[in-house]
Amino acid sequence: MSILVLNCGSSSLKYQLIDMKDEKVLAKGLCERIGEDMSKIIHKVPGKEDYSKEVKFETHTEAVKMVFDLLTDSDKGVVKSIDEIEAIGHRVLHGGTKFTQSTKVDAKVKDAIRECFDLGPLHNPANLMGIEACEKAVPGKPNVAVFDTTFGMSLGAAGYLYGIPYEYYEKYGIRRYGFHGTSHMYVTAEAIKFNKLDKDKAKIIVCHLGNGASISASIGGKCVDTSMGLTPLEGLIMGTRSGDIDPAVIQYIMKKENKTIDEVLDILNKKSGYYGMTNYKIRDHRDLTAAVEAGDENAKITLKAYERRIIKYIGAYIALLNGVDCICFAGGIGENSGYTRQALMNHFSYMGIKLDPEKNSHKGVMEVISTPDSSVIVMDLPTNEELMIARETLRLK
């Protein structure tokens, strides 16, 4: 009994086949440059040599067919026939307000994903393409859509409304949606399970710190607040995204630099964050900490600003939740950088949070990294969005 998880970009397709008996990955891979002159597939099976081949995929449907051929191949495959794959789970970026949970795909669901193209212009069309490719390549196989925005759907109006005229919410659905929802949902659920917390009352803060970064606060697994907004641009300082700014900055740059609004938004999405703050030198967090260690003053200030923003959010979320039981770190930086976790948690020593230096030095291990007498449990909790999608797909297929 296995579930195929697909994450489609406009010219790429990532996949994982997960055996749901023990939640082990049977195979995973990536198709790149779909629709270009030459495409490539990389197929990995644990314990076997990686397989890669240059092939021309005109469409996502051709790529999906090749994925199914490889998964059932007598040599490179991991299942005997397509029948052993029960369903396909799709990562879909934006569900608007229509979807308060993951859902089995039918014509109405596809229409709704299409209606959200404006809200997720880069991802939603590609996600829908992946769904339609599967419908063509393996007709009759159930498809389930798991939305990145679902976790944010439990925000009350006080949490999702911006301080702007209400008519824009009514007319255009302008509100906080939140992203990385699949990750926040997974980490929150695992933290409750791992620590045997009260599943209806547990107060949890999840810091998903990767290239893209966001933070969420939840009670009983339901999101109370989250840092990303209408788009993933809001909130923390990220690799290339600015996070929170005074909106008037946009007009100011437009005037001073004679730029269009689209150009400025492109700068805020792709040329800001620590990449922009270091004068377009550093976009990877490891390089940022290496530059700090080498004594680069600009890198030092950038890292301080990056940490300060996260500290402000954690502090605000502890107040909003009126306490916290568990703080979790996920994402490439959160899972691996003991330095960052310590730097952030130092600011909460006033309330009795203490990390165990030895445990905090580990990388990417799911474990409690706070001391037994810490007032709050702190965890390194590697995220697994694919597994969350597979679990949702199994539940709904």
- Pick the closest to residue 193 from 81, 64, 67, 328 (CA basis): 328
Least distance to ligand ADP, CB of residue 93, Å: 13
Report if residue 290 touches ligand ADP, rule: CB under 6 A: no
By C-beta, is 77 or 243 nearer to ligand ADP?
243
Number of residues that bind ligand ADP (CB under 6 A): 13
By C-beta, is 82 or 343 nearer to ligand ADP?
343
d(CA 191, CA 328): 8
User: Which segment (21-29, 51-59, 326-334, 387-395) binds ligand ADP by CB under 6 A?
Assistant: 326-334
Identify residues 296-325 at the interface with ligand ADP (CB under 6 A): none
Residue 37 annotated among the catalytic residues of the structure:
no
Report if residue 48 touches ligand ADP, rule: CB under 6 A: no
Identify residues 255-284 at the interface with ligand ADP (CB under 6 A): 284
DSSP state at residue 84: G
Report if residue 331 touches ligand ADP, rule: CB under 6 A: yes
By C-beta, is 78 or 333 nearer to ligand ADP?
333
Least distance to ligand ADP, CB of residue 91, Å: 12
By C-beta, is 8 or 87 nearer to ligand ADP?
8
Least distance to ligand ADP, CB of residue 21, Å: 28
d(CA 203, CA 215): 14
Report if residue 229 touches ligand ADP, rule: CB under 6 A: no
Q: How many CB atoms lie within 10 A of CB 294?
A: 8
Report if residue 337 touches ligand ADP, rule: CB under 6 A: yes
- Pick the closest to residue 274 from 250, 296, 247 (CA basis): 296
In which order are the strands placed within the sheet that holds 326-330? Answer: 222-226, 213-219, 203-209, 326-330, 377-380, 367-368
Binding mask 201-220 for ligand ADP (x = CB under 6 A): ---------xxx--------
Least distance to ligand ADP, CB of residue 219, Å: 26
Binding mask 352-371 for ligand ADP (x = CB under 6 A): -----------x--------
- Reading phi first (left if > 0) and then psi (alpha if -120 to 50, else beta), residue 70 is in alpha
Least distance to ligand ADP, CB of residue 82, Å: 30
- Reading phi first (left if > 0) and then psi (alpha if -120 to 50, else beta), residue 203 is in beta
d(CA 119, CA 99): 14
Catalytic residue among 148, 225, 325, 380: 148
Rg (CA), the chain: 22
Report if residue 341 touches ligand ADP, rule: CB under 6 A: no
- Pick the closest to residue 188 from 148, 219, 153 (CA basis): 219
By C-beta, is 184 or 285 nearer to ligand ADP?
285
Report if residue 285 touches ligand ADP, rule: CB under 6 A: yes
By C-beta, is 169 or 339 nearer to ligand ADP?
339
Report if residue 336 touches ligand ADP, rule: CB under 6 A: yes
Q: How many CB atoms lie within 10 A of CB 199?
A: 11
d(CA 222, CA 189): 10
Among 333, 376, 379, 390, binds ligand ADP (CB under 6 A): 333
Contact 390, 18 (CB under 8 A): yes
Counting Cα atoms < 13 Å in the Cβ hemisphere of 265 gives: 7
Counting Cα atoms < 13 Å in the Cβ hemisphere of 124 gives: 19
By C-beta, is 97 or 289 nearer to ligand ADP?
289
Binding-site ranges for ligand ADP (CB under 6 A): 210-212, 239, 284-286, 331-333, 336-337, 363
What positions carry a catalytic annotation? 148
